[in-house]
Amino acid sequence: MTDKTLPPVDAVVVGAGWAGCIMAKELCEAGLSVVMLERGGRRSTATDGAYPASLDELEGAVRYKLFQNLAHTTVTVRNRTDQQALPYRRLAAFLPGEGVGGAGLHWTGVHFRAMPQDLRLRSHITERYGRKFIPEGMALQDYGVTYEELEPFFDRAEKVFGTSGEAYSVGGKIVGKGNPFAPDRSDDFPLPPLRDVYTAHLFRKAAAEAGYNPYAMPAANASHPYTNPYGAQMGPCNFCGYCSDYACYMYAKASPNVNILPALRRHENFTLRTNAHVLKVLLDSTGKKATGVVYQDAEGNQITQPAGLVILAAFQFHNVHLMLLSGIGKPYDPHSNTGTVGRNFTYQNITNSTVLMPATRTTDQFIGSAGGVAVDDFNCDNFDHGPHGFIGGSPLWVNQAGVKPIAGAKGAMTNGARWGSDWKRQALDSYRHSFTINAQGSNMAYRDVYLDLDPTWKDAYGQPLLRMTFDWKDNDIRMNRYVVSKLDKVVKALGARDVHYGMRDPAKPFDVRDYQTTHLCGGAIMGEDPKTSALNRYLQSWDVPNVFVVGANAFPQGMGYNPTGLVAALAYWSAHHIRTQWLKGAGGPLVTP
Amino acid sequence: MMALHSLPPRTRRSLKRLLAGVACSLTLCSVAHTALAADPVPAPDAALVEKGRYVAAAADCAACHTAESGKPYAGNYAFTLPIGTLYASNITPDKTHGIGRWTEAEFVRAIREGIRPDGASLYPAMPYPSYARMTDEDLHALYLYFMHGVQPVAQAVKPNAIPWPLSVRFPLTLWRWMFAPTPQDARTATLHRPYPTAEQARGAYLVEGPGHCGACHTERGLAMQEKALTAQDGAAYLAGGKPVDGWTPPPLRGEALTGLQSWSKADIAAFLQTGRNMHGSAFGSMEPAVHHGTQSLTEADLLAMAAYLKTLPARVEQTPYKADPAATKALRSGGSLTAGQLLYLNNCAACHGSNGKGFPTVFPPLAGNPTVLTAQPDSVIHIILAGGTLRGTQGAPSAFTMPGFASRLTNVEIATVATFIRQAWGNTAPAVTDMEVNNLRKTLPHPTAQSLTPPPAP
């Protein structure tokens, strides 16, 4: 092992997922020399999505080929502050990616913007329901950036991702049958929506009969061949269903690998280093300026990469972990309710209901895409929360992304049989005739739900693991149960043979063994007040102004929508202000507290 | 032969052809470095050096003189032949190992006439019968580029390993006398014929001269000489070559089925610029030609090449491709399928579609694609076995990879599905036999190994 210091570069970007690739591309365009560090290996469609060998459920979704190797580093988890946290040793509840493309390679491709109310939720709830509507212990906050400000960057991200969807209103005019609750857009989607699979078609009809407003889910799965503004090309989605957990062999699912890296690699001022695990951001003696990062390479050498600008663009909790390990910002203390790094850690509140259709309806669950049909009637603040006394909401949707045989067998809807001919008969019936409706809801932030460094457990690099303290709270449990109850009318209109409603059970704490989503949020949030946020509205650290922290870590609370569209828009937003303001100034704070 | 095929195809092909004719008496062109000349360095003119860089791209020098992951133009590219191994020359301006001591006159003579400064004949893997028609201006710029625009690399060329008597050199000189035109004649033939437009004149120069398209796309005679070097030499010119390394160079003339009749000027220019257009994507030996060469040319020059190619009439009358929906219907019927149809659905249809139209410019069409319809099936068999990657270009940065099926499909299965592809949707090409597949499979570097690269360890 040898330790060495490399020649300085203008910017170092930690992580080669969506956020990292967007930031690196923007900074290269601005003429900066950029080194991107990815702790995993190289990945591409050619190697990880080779057809037909890559269509392997065992390799992809059971053995988690594209996901983080928890043997090197992981998190510890507990429900309450009075418990001892234990390491998350087997992937289940959430699935962070690893390798070039990050989670952007294994995601499904559901590509939402954000609701305007979600971006200023504290202000919105206070205005509509009064300050007292926010329960004690709920740390509701605004992002500090509005939908109107982000709109050009949502639009940019959709054009880069080749997003398929149907608009409702563009430039103030109603143009189509999209989501009527969605905010106005400056332009249409770059591609028309994916076609409804059969189950989504059934849901669309039934939801309309129930009086709701069904719409085609926006998906970064190309409905047609597409060339994005970088010149990167996508093939068309053929509904094979190998989206989530796989590298799409059709080049149809947007990924950093397909949509950005082909153009990014052509910049001579760009360098990608893989198998480079960043250990910490280095600060100068004042602690107010980053001087670069130190990382460990595959041979165990510790390498110092000096840089004038540090972009943390790793996965949500890795960004928080790196800030805590580096001493950037004050760690959050739930007892005194002070400090910023680690606070407002949130998740997403999803439950799945299964509908069994009559034997005359074959649901073809094996096919799918990131598209589908959703209703937003109970998302965000699209309905009056006054009588219910909870905050938040949840879209309801059929987002059939291909149920493969192992998942179909494990998730079979049965009367309790778990083996034998009775189970086989029911599993077959279930696979042929059932489908799933998800309620993917918001998750609010709470004073005693947070991230900090674990006092006991260390990773393979000798550094303390990140500790999650997380549990479901009354507000979110009631929200979920209310929204799921609204499925009743849809199920009746479907003419279903049987239904199993998936609802949050108040007696059941958060359990890492059950898959939820990988939509972890917060921990290093953006905001307007340096006392309650780690980052300003440009995702710049309040404390170390040449560090920007880009990702879902910036969300003050979890929303019902999938986070990637907002992550991408925030990355373009942040990069725009780095390019137009920060680089032209003295490198100080973009917002004066 | 196995070792030969472990080389990238482009560098193999000229050698292999040559070999068949004159191999027994070849001498090796150990890289010329000569102590002759005085320092040739004239004052560098940046614009001229840049022009030279462009000429080097048009002449595709890098394809043979830059080794994989080697320094540009530093040579040592291995040509592994049954008679032994030889190495491409270092053409950087290094004074000891490269061409740094060559005068411009020596440089020009090597390129146009295939004669080294010491008087020895160059191996005609160097396409000097085509380069003979390059202009003084282009060669002057090219010389300045190699002297001032290329980094000298002090890398010795490995000694060739070819035993006597195969290393005797005089037959190369005989070959040169018999088949290579004098520079004067060559330039007269290409530059001083009448052209209806200046664009066609420019295109003829690029195609017949630096582009040396005929090296692959013109059939070779008994002594492996190109049967025609210009359009004036007759309809053999660019009428399609015999398969080399398992790739069949299609005609670049106006053949209705296998040639360029259905390609517009803009189609041809787009293909040369990006390696892809609505009719197909570059693969096999053409992919590196786009990568190292044509992608760097200006749109005007690419259109000129296209304009010239479009003047070449078909040598063979063919019935144009006419779409037939029968195969598409059968594939979509869900009914009982033939073995070929089933293999196609299970292995090919995801990307190329049940209608065979693909999704150009991402996944190329198979229906009506000239490279599918050539009489010789080598290209179709080869790409099914080995797959291929179309790298990103300046105009189209995305790379697309077709995986190889050598490890997944047997010879009979590949013959069956290739036959289906060549006879579906209105395609009319001869059937493929498992013997043909077997012969090609034997030439692959690892006949049974899959071509899929395993992903890197996390």
- Give this complex's ipTM: 0.93
Site of tokens 């398969």? B243
Contacts of B399 in chain A (CB under 8 A): 44, 46, 262
Output the CA–CA distances (angstroms, integers) from residue A403 to A218, A271, A430, in the order listed: 20, 38, 12
The distance of B367 to chain A (nearest Cα, Å) reads 18
Give the DSSP H/E element, type plus range, for residue A118: helix A116-119
Burial of A297 (0-12, 13-18, 19+ CB in 10 A): middle
pLDDT at B399 over 50: yes
Sign, CA torsion B374/B378/B382/B385: positive
Q: Which of A106, A519, A576, A577 is catalytic?
A: A519
Helix axes B198-208, B183-191, angle to 10 degrees: 140
Beta bridge pairs of residue B121: B115
Structure tokens at A506: 């108040």
Look over chain B and give the mean of its residue pLDDT values, rounded to a whole number: 87
Give the pLDDT of residue B161. 78
Give the pLDDT of residue B147. 96
Q: Where are the domains of chain B?
A: 2-179, 195-309, 326-443
CB-based contact, B400 to chain A, within 8 Å: yes
Mutation site for B-interface testing, chosen from A39, A51, A268 by largest number of B Cβ within 10 Å: A51
CB atoms within 10 A of CB A585: 10
The distance of B35 to chain A (nearest Cα, Å) reads 38
- A349 backbone dihedrals φ, ψ, rounded to 5°: -115, 80
Please report which confidence band the pLDDT of residue B166 belongs to, taking 50, 70 and 90 as the band edges. confident
Site of tokens 């080097």? B56
B397, B400, B403: residue with CB nearest A251: B400
B389, B397, B455: residue with CB nearest A231: B397
Interchain contact, A231 vs B347, CB within 8 Å: no
Give the pLDDT of residue B77. 80
Q: Where are the domains of chain A?
A: 4-582
Mutation site for A-interface testing, chosen from B401, B405, B417 by largest number of A Cβ within 10 Å: B401
Q: Which fold has domain B326-443?
A: Cytochrome Bc1 Complex; Chain D, domain 2 (1.10.760)
pLDDT at B345 over 70: yes
Sign, CA torsion B253/B259/B261/B263: negative
The percentage of chain B sitting over the pLDDT mark of 70, rounded to a whole number, equals 86
pLDDT at B183 over 50: yes
Q: Does domain A4-582 correspond to CATH entry 3.90.1280.10?
A: no
Distance CA B150, CA A256 (A): 34
Give the pLDDT of residue B446. 63
Q: What is the CA radius of gyration of chain A?
A: 23
A47, A250, A266: residue with CB nearest B350: A250
The percentage of chain B sitting over the pLDDT mark of 90, rounded to a whole number, equals 72
Q: Are A57 and A87 in contact (CB under 8 A)?
A: no
| pLDDT tens-place values along chain A, 593 residues long | 568 999 999 999 999 999 999 999 999 999 999 999 999 999 999 999 999 999 999 999 999 999 999 999 999 999 999 999 999 999 999 999 999 999 999 999 999 999 999 999 999 999 999 999 999 999 999 999 999 999 999 999 999 999 999 999 999 999 999 999 999 999 999 999 999 999 999 999 999 999 999 999 999 999 999 999 999 999 999 999 999 999 999 999 999 999 999 999 999 999 999 999 999 999 999 999 999 999 999 999 999 999 999 999 999 999 999 999 999 999 999 999 999 999 999 999 999 999 999 999 999 999 999 999 999 999 999 999 999 999 999 999 999 999 999 999 988 888 888 899 999 999 999 999 999 999 999 999 999 999 999 999 999 999 999 999 999 999 999 999 999 999 999 999 999 999 999 999 999 999 999 999 999 999 999 999 999 999 999 999 999 999 999 999 999 999 999 999 999 999 999 999 999 999 999 899 999 98
